[in-house]
Each structure stands twice: as C-alpha cells, then as structure tokens.
Chain A
Amino acid sequence: MLRILGKIQRIGIVTEPLPKIDEPALEEVGAQIKAKIGEMFSGSLAIRQVDAGSCNGCELEIHALNNPYYGIERFGVHFVASPRHADMLLVTGPVSRHMEAALRRTYDATPEPKLVIAVGECGANGGEFGVSYASCGAVSNVIPVDAVIRGCPPTPLDLMRGILQAVGELPALK
C-alpha cells in the first residue's frame, strides 16, 4: 500500500488538462441535454445500448461518449446493463434476423415510458446491408423507433445531438 501511495505521490497527476476541442457545440449541446433530462427524467437518463447486428463501428463511437472528452455522464446520461433499468434503448445495426427475437424481447423488457433511438445508417435504413435473408434492415422494421441518428458511424457529437433531439421532442411526461 505504502508503495502504491509513494508511487502516486511521485508520479502526481498525469492527466493533462484537456486541450480545447474544435467542437464548441459540445458544451452547448451537453448543457441542453442536462436541462432537458432534468425536466423530463428527474435528472438522469438511463440508456441500454443494444447491438442488433452492427459492424461494431457504432459501438466504438458510443463508447467514446464515456471518454474524458465527452464524459456524457456529467450531463446526466448513463449506460445501464439491463433493459429493465433503462429509459432509452440505443439500437445499432441493421437488425440481423438472428437478433430479431432478442431485440423484441429487450424492447418488451424495457419499462414504459421508453424511448428508442436507431443509430447509424444501418439502424436508420439498413445501410450497406439493407434487407436480405439475413437482415431485417432498419430498426423500425422490428420495433417502434422514436428517433434516428444518422452517420456511418455517427460521431460522438452526432450521438449527443441525436439524444438531445429525441429527449427534446418528448411531450412533457407529467
């Protein structure tokens, strides 16, 4: 223990101050998300991400939302492990037919009121994969979708904007 503390003291804080990023919209979008989530969801929005057949590109960018640059938790958004804890499903991919039943069950397991966002070109319209023997195409072909975030994959800022838009367009729940 002493050794670790000594080490930490010797090394100090290596986290550098974040360089200014060329996306001034980030803070603005974040503040709007935070205000909206405060109003609609008592301060915190729980998201369950579901990969229903993506190439993993969208997942990597959704992961990036949690890196220190975006730190989406500071705006009241966090990712949860179960649909039963979720306010929102963030669904990627063309829905592969092999994931169809699992996606329906995940949707059913998410309590009302729930929001569904289809992410990426594939989620929006099947993207490069379209509809085939193996792919159902757009997420909306399988479960009801409230909003769509385009891009292949959408950048973290696109994702933030899309989440804001989906929350912003909600009618007041109370």
Chain B
Amino acid sequence: MTADWLTAFLGRLTTREIQAQEEPAAGLAPAHLLTVQADDWGQFAHEAKNWDCRWVAAWGEDSGDDLIANACFEKDGTYLVARTHVKRATPILPSHTPYFLAADRPERHMQDMFGIAFMDHPDPRRWTRHRAWKESEYPLRKNFPAAGNPLAQTPPNDNYRFLFAHGSGVYEIPVGPVHAGIIEPGHFRFQAVGETVLNLEERLGYVHKGIEKIAEGRDAKGLARLAGRVSGDSTVAHAWAACMAMEKAAGIEVPPRALALRAIMAERERVANHLGDIGAICNDVSFAFAFYQFGRLREVWQRVSRETFGHRFMMDRIVPGGVLSDLDDQASGSMQKQMVSLKKELDGLYNIIDDLPSLEDRLDTTGHLSPETAKAFGALGYVGRASGIPYDVRKDAPYAPYDRLSVEVPVFQDGDVAARVKVRAEEILASFKLIETLIEYLPPGSVRADWKPAPAGAEGLGFTEGFRGEILAYVRFGENGQIARYFPRDTSWLTWPTLEKLIRDNIVPDFPVCNKSVNGSYSGHDL
C-alpha cells in the first residue's frame, strides 16, 4: 500500500523535473525503492527535506562498473530507499548533508569506504578512515581484499585537523581514545573556559574492525553471528534486523512462535540495558546507592535470561528462520515471577530517585537537547523521546509480532538528562507489559523455519527497535547463498552528534553524565 504522502511526493518530484522512478523490490518492502539520477541526488534530498521526511541512513555498494549509493528516508512510518548509480571512474555525487545534518558522518564513512566523493559536503575530513589502509584504497570496493595490505604497525591517528578555538582563557582538553573507565574507546576534544564547555568535537572510528567487509562471503548463519556482535549490548536487536533482512530476501516466513520469542528477547535486552544505564547515570553524579541497586537488578535480570535462553545477553539465540531454542512453561513462569517482584522494587526505587533534591540538582536542565535540535539531527530512541520525538519502529512501522500489540512509548519535552532517565524508567515498565502479553499469548508451533538460500542478487531490508532506537540492516545475497553486502545502521549514528550539541554550556564535570545519558555505541558506529 502506497502512503498518500509518497504519491504526492512523487508528483512534486515530477513538477521539479527530478527524475525518480519507482521500482519493484520485494525484499525491501514495505519500504519503497526509487531510482534517482545521480545529478538529481542532492535536489532529491532537498525535496525530501521540504516534504518533512526524516533522513534514516546511507550506504554504498560496488556493482562493478558502477558504484551504487543508497539513502533511506522515512515519513509517517513509511520508508523510502533512494538509489543512484555513479561511474566507478568518476564517483562524484551531490551531498545530502546540506539538507540533513544526520547525513554528515554517514556520507564521510561512504567516502572513506567506497571512494564516493560528495562534492558539496561541508566537511571534507575523513571519518572512519584513520591510517589502517592506504590513501588510494577503499575497503568496501570488491577488488580490495578483506586482509588488506596492512603495515607492520599502524601509525597513530595524529594528523586529524580538529576545530580550533581562540580567545583569552580558552583551553583544550583531549580525552581518549583510551578512556579512564571500563568503556569503549574514542576521542573527545573539548574547548572550555573555566569549567564551561564551549565546544566538543568527537573523533570516532577507533574500533572500526571491518564488519561490513568481513560479512561478505559468509552464509546466513555466519552473518547472524556477526550481526550479533555489531554492538554487544544490542546483540538481539542487530541479529534480529539482519535476520529480518535475510528472511525477506530469501522469502522465508518465520513461524509466529519464533517471532514472539524474538520480541521477548528484544524486550529483555531493553530492560537489562536501561537498568544498567539508570544506575550508571546516577553513579556519574555520585549517587552510589542507585548504582548498586540498579546493578543488582540488572544482574538478576541477566541471570534469568541465561536460565531461559541460555546466554546472559541472549547472544546467538536469533538465527535465520527463527530462534535457537523454545521456551517452556517453567522458564516463562520464572520470567513472570521475576517481573512481579522487580516491578515492586522499581516502584520503590523510582520514588526515591524522583524525589531526591541532589539528583534533581545534577540531572534537571543538564545536557539540554531542544526538540528542534533533536529533530534536525534525526535523534531517536530515548534521546529523541526525551526531546519530544515519539518515533518508535514497534509502533510507527510495526513488524510482527508488534503489529498485534499495543506499544506504550513514553515521550517528554524537557530534553535534559533527567528526561532521558524518565524515558528509560518508563520503557522498562512498558516492556514488562509487552513481555507479559507475549508470554500469555505465545503462539504454538515450531520455532524455526528451514533456511533456503536466497537467489543471487536478492536484497532485503530489516528494521527493529533496539534499546537505543531504530536499527536498520541491509543485506544483498551473492552467489551460492553467500552475503555480498551487509550494512547495519545502529541508532548511535544519529545520537552521537547530538552529544556535541547538548554538552555546550554545561560544565566539564557534567560530561560523563551527559555522555552516559546518550550512551552511544562506539562499536555499532565504527563498524
């Protein structure tokens, strides 16, 4: 079913003489596919912006003589993939970044990985590329071997041109890539006056480990394992998105029981992460009580995940065609029992953290992200929802089994750290309700459909709602059921840039809590 806005939008493109042709693409459905002339690529984005579309993701593909650029947009829960071809010899395209801030880093990533130059991109600096491969090499081109031609030792990334601030009393604080805690690596460059942050610049890419490249040549099972390690805390959501994409490409119907079990796992993943993060946010403002309480609850929660699904993170439990193992009555009983006691404990804890002046002092108004800025960056998940953006794939573009469930999505307007905590606190309770319903109405039947390899060239697109927000996975199959292209877009691509904005005018000591309230994934972003 074509959304009304899309018909009108296509009409508008015709009026503006932008050549865009709708093509059939079964594996991408319900997303629509439009092929666009390379010359019109920028104008197309301009029109999409005027049409109030949200910029979702961009990824490239090597198809021999041509390089392909894809960009995904969304409006009212309908997704649109725009695709264009450029000649390998002259891979130059207009940029989407002048119209969508969210396109900035993804386009730089594409430039680094495919050598597609975005001519009017405002920032020519490299992004994912540090110095692990040569100037003339583009790892995601097919003729670049996965092993590459690495030097005996990779030189450090010391030639990046950071922004520079001048002025009396302005000083710089470089942080990372090795951080002072048990945390992923990345670099932050602050310019500050006294305690006030004037500017923050992020430099990521340190954990780039070639996920997109080493996906090529894997079979479906192997890709699911890799997808489960795009970001360890979102292993369920990424594995599900990748499997969804592969299943669509192969035309495989996943049994309803498997879908319900996937959703139970995904909600359990959300709860585990929110519990841990609420505790960690409180810890960053020295409220150790909450840190230990929430840490304790996360631990008991993870233990039940292991009892019921066999792994504390439920890693490798989602497989192409379904899930690895079934859930018996005893296991679902212990889940239900745990939620009853946890709900009671959380009510008590929420009362405490809601009414503590010292927490209020540190969390309220801290790290403020206005709804306008959040929208400009396309922020989603708890970052978006704390700044008035309700988008949730489970509700707005529902996939099975969420299409038959009622998903509560908490939304606040304050945009501060406190609001991001509130969203997480409420999402935990909403997930409890979903898990309850899913267990109660668990469909009978098998938990896995037989896998049959997809035909060469078949493509698929999967969307799931991870605990950070929307996750996209694009897959194209090559010969013999092997993966020819895998692109996962973690929500972090959209929320990392908001941290640079929301930290401004805060004090340097509030950076940890602001950072934790956004909790971008380094691994999911660096790929």
Are B349 and A14 in contact, CB atoms less than 8 angstroms apart? yes
Q: Does A63 lie at the interface of the complex (its beta carbon under 8 Å from any beta carbon of B)?
A: yes
* Alpha-carbon distance between A29 and B41 when the two chains are bound, in angstroms: 61
- A11 CA to B184 CA in the complex, in Å? 37
Interfacial chain A residues near B232, Cβ < 8 Å: 54-60, 153
* Interface residue? A3 (CB, 8 A): yes
Q: Which of B133, B229, B276, B526 has the most CB of A within 10 A?
A: B229
Contact residues of B between 135 and 153, Cβ < 8 Å to A: 139, 144-150, 153
Q: In the complex the two chains form, what is the Cα distance from A9 to B146 in whole Å?
A: 62
Most chain A CB neighbours (cut-off 10 Å) among B131, B182, B357, B522: B182
Contacts of A94-124 to chain B: CB distance below 8 A: 94, 96-106
Per the bound structure, the CA–CA distance linking A136 and B208 in Å amounts to 11
If the complex has contacts A54-B523, A68-B292, A133-B133, are A59 and B209 also in contact, measured as CB distance less than 8 A? no
| Pairwise interchain contact A60-B147, C-beta atoms closer than 8 A | no
- Interface size in chain A (residues, C-beta < 8 A): 60
Residues of B close to A67: CB separation below 8 A: 292, 295-296, 298-299
Contacting residue for A4 out of B214, B229, B315, B356, CB 8 A: B356
One digit per residue, 1 when the CB lies within 8 angstroms of any chain B CB and 0 when it does not, for chain A 82-95 equals: 11000000000110
Inter-chain CA distance A104–B296, complex, in Å, is: 35
When the two chains form their complex, are residues A98 and B292 in contact, meaning their CB atoms are under 8 A apart? no
B348 CB within 8 Å of chain A: yes
Select from chain A the residue with minimum beta-carbon distance to B351.
A11
A132 near B349 with CB under 8 A, answer: no
* Nearest chain B residue, comparing its CB with the CB of A135: B209
Interface residues of B in 295-337 (CB under 8 A from A): 295-296, 298-300, 302-303, 312-313, 315
Contacts A132-B209, A133-B147 given: A98-B130 contact, CB under 8 Å?
yes
A–B pairs, 6, beta carbons within 8 Å: A96-B206, A102-B156, A129-B214, A133-B210, A135-B209, A153-B313
Q: 4 shortest A-B CB distances, which residue pairs? A: A133-B148, A57-B232, A134-B210, A81-B180
Chain A interface (Cβ within 8 Å of chain B)?
Answer: 3-4, 7, 11, 14-16, 18-19, 21, 49-64, 66-69, 79, 81-83, 93-94, 96-106, 127-136, 152-153, 155
Known: A96-B209, A153-B313. 12 other contacts (CB 8 A): A4-B356, A7-B352, A11-B348, A51-B182, A54-B207, A55-B232, A55-B523, A69-B299, A94-B209, A98-B205, A101-B154, A133-B145
